[in-house]
Structures are given as C-alpha cells and as structure tokens.
Amino acid sequence: MAGSTTATEIDQRDIDEARAFNTKLEALLASVPPLHTVPAEVTRQQRREGTAVFPKPVFLGEALDIEVPGPSGPIKVRVIRPDQKPTGIYLHLHGGGWTLGKHDMQDEGLKLLANETGLCAASVDYRLAPEAPYPAGPDDCEAAVAHLLEHGPRLLDAPARFAIGGESAGAHLSVVTLLRLRDRHRIKNRIAAANLVYGVYDLNGTPSQLLMEDREVLTRPILRWFRDNFLPDRSFEQRRDPDISPLYADLGDMPPALFTVGTVDRLLDDSLFMAERWRQAGNLADVAIYPEGVHGFNQYPTGLARKANARQLDFLRNALS
C-alpha cells in the first residue's frame, strides 16, 4: 500500500510559480465581495457568464446531456466521449460547496480526461443547496451512479469498467456515493478507482479547516457558509453522521483511491486523515501533496496544476488497465 508522499515530480520552479500565482489570486479575490456575502444564485450566474473572477467556462458542442431517473425527477448527466472508442466510464461529481457549480461547466477538463484515459466522462447534475439541502445532492448522486452502473454501458456505448471522482464537494459526494452503493445497494467492487481531489470529509472541521490562515480561496467563513447551506440546523453530533462526514464511516471494501491536495488548502487534513483511514480499512490509497497548492489549484494555468492533473490521469489509466 502506498504512503502519503509529496509529489516528487515537482521542482522549485513549479513552487515559485505557484507562490507567485497565489499572490496574484489573493489580490484578485480581495478586489471582489467575499463569496459568502453574495447570494448563491448571483455567483452561479456570474461564473456561468464569466463576469466575476473566473473566466467563462467553455461549453463543448459535442457534449451531450442525457437524463436518468432520480428521486425527485430526471437527473441530467453530461456525457463527453473520447475521440477513440471508450474503454470505460468515469462517473464525475462536480465541486462547488454543494452550492455552486454545474455538470456542464468543466467540459474542457473532462474532454482532456476522456482522451487521455479512454474513459467516457459522465458528469451528474445533482441538486444544489441552499434550495435543496442535504440529503438532496447525495440522493441524486446515488441514484444517477447506481443507474449508470446498471445501464451506462448501453446508454454510453462503453465497456462496464468504472471509475468515480470529483473535486472538493464532489470528492465528498463520491465517497458518500461509494458508501451508499455498498450499504444500500449491496454493490461492491464495481468501481475500480476513486479520484478524490481536495475533498472535505469532516463537516465539523479538521484542524486545517479550523486553524489555517484565511489567505486563500477557501476561507473559514466561506467554508462555514457552504456547510450551513448544505446542512441547515444540523447539530455537531448530527454532522458526525457518516453519510454527512464520511471520515467517520466504516471504509471497508472501497476501491483504490488517489487523494490530491495542496499544502495551503484548508482541506489538507481531510485528505491526509481520510487516506490513512482508507488504508487502515484494507484499501489501497495514495496521497499526492503539492507544495503551495491552494484549494482548486489544479484548475489554474501553472506547472503545478499540469503535473497534478497528469498524475490523476496516470492513476485512472493504471487502475483501469
């Protein structure tokens, strides 16, 4: 079983570039109202149109939205195929603090993943908080993934070989979905790999969540806002429910996982703690730790990001080979 390691392919130039980028990003974020002070629907629209800090997403014309059954009606799934014949299916759950983001806002990244791994990407459009708090989002992810495990090969014309993954809240939802598949559907060993990128696994707060300096993208007030949107009126003990905070779950029979996180990400400890619990439960796990990586660092135009993404692609290729 692999151990926790700092990514060895990173050199000093990558670290210096990331540090300089972080300084610019910090100044840029300081020039706009803090995320938690803006209504969620306003931020969603700004991000979709590219009128705030981040550039407008690229929506690929070749991407196809299909619908699968859900607990409150049809759930959209964004399908992005590789240019070659698919070798399997990547079940993707997007990030955004259970509040922001959309299944069609990472087309470019999923197209790269599809071409580099041969996997057909299927990104789930789960319901968002605060309009639809817990358990709506996890319920949608569970329903969509369970349906795709059964019908995805026919719907997507791809072999029945599966990986799951997501970023931030999407990594959290990926783990919750794996646990629900095991416990509620008695589905084990159908998903060959979990690509878990700077996830949040304890919604009461790990030490890094609570103690890290408020300089980067995910400040403590923003993280608290996301949590309260997702879990209104839940007590401290209720937030320890493994379906909410999977760090407290029985983690037996989980697939091999790659945990990716940066050293200046408020969710650093979440990845470190979860990876160790993953291993102690008898599963394979590796942790790629990136110096000067902020929350979301692999989405920025830096060498650090390119190397982190390349490692994830290698992990998926090898896990499904």
Q: Which tens digits make up the pLDDT trace of 193-234?
A: 999 999 999 999 999 999 998 877 899 999 999 999 999 999
Secondary structure in 3-state letters for 257-304: EEEEEECCCCCHHHHHHHHHHHHHCCCCEEEEEECCCCCCHHHCCCHH
Residue 143 and residue 68 in contact, taking contact as beta carbons nearer than 8 Å: yes
Tokens encoding 33? 């109202």
Give backbone dihedrals phi and psi of 301, rounded to 5 degrees, phi first: -80, 70
Residue 267 has a pLDDT of 98
- pTM for the model: 0.97
- Give the whole-number percent of the chain exceeding pLDDT 70: 98
Place of tokens 């997507």: 156
Q: List, for residues 238-285, the tens digit of each pLDDT value.
A: 999 999 999 999 999 999 999 999 999 999 999 999 999 999 999 999
pLDDT at 197: 98
- The pLDDT of residue 6: 52
The C-alpha atoms of residue 314 and residue 66 are separated, in whole angstroms, by 28
| Element (DSSP H or E) covering residue 214 | none
4 C-beta neighbours (distance < 10 Å), count: 15
Determine the pLDDT at residue 7: 55
Q: List, for residues 85-135, the tens digit of each pLDDT value.
A: 999 999 999 999 999 999 999 999 999 999 999 999 999 999 999 999 999
- Report d(CA 232, CA 145) in Å as an integer: 26
How does pLDDT run across 292-304, given as a tens digit for each residue? 999 999 999 999 9
Residue carrying structure tokens 């990716």: 260
- Structural domains of the chain, ranges and CATH numbers in brackets: 4-319 (3.40.50.1820)
Pairing of strands 285-290, 75-80: unpaired
Q: Rounded distance, CA 214 to CA 25, Å?
A: 13
